[in-house]
Amino acid sequence: MSRGAPTPSLVVMSSHGSRGDLRKIVRLAESQGWEVKYTGKGHYRWVPPGGKDVYFSSSTPSDWRVIRNLLAALGKRGLTV
């Protein structure tokens, strides 16, 4: 897969990154036992099963790289994409 290719498992990803894409990732993470909470200050707190290696992300993706980087960071923490 080339660097700029869309993520195949999240079928419809916009080219600019959207809150809809982010909501899909939230639902995916929650289906795998992650706890995802909105902090109230414009960020999400991602807690994997077991509670170790918590990750924070913006709740307003500005472009497609934000979504790609979020998936990479969560994948390193155990999210199966």
In a domain, 53, yes or no: yes
Q: Residue 15 and residue 44: Cα distance in Å, rounded?
A: 21
Mean pLDDT by 10 residues, the chain (81 residues): 49 61 95 97 95 93 90 97 87
Side-chain-facing half-sphere of 60: CA atoms under 13 Å? 3
Can you give the pLDDT at residue 27? Answer: 97
In a domain, 56, yes or no: yes
Can you give the pLDDT at residue 14? Answer: 53
Identify the domain containing residue 66 by its residue range: 33-81
In a domain, 2, yes or no: no
Can you give the pLDDT at residue 81? Answer: 87
In a domain, 16, yes or no: no
In a domain, 44, yes or no: yes
In a domain, 5, yes or no: no
Can you give the pLDDT at residue 26? Answer: 96
Q: Residue 32 and residue 42: Cα distance in Å, rounded?
A: 23
In a domain, 62, yes or no: yes
Q: Give the gyration radius of the chain's Cα atoms.
A: 12
In a domain, 10, yes or no: no
Can you give the pLDDT at residue 13? Answer: 52
Can you give the pLDDT at residue 15? Answer: 53
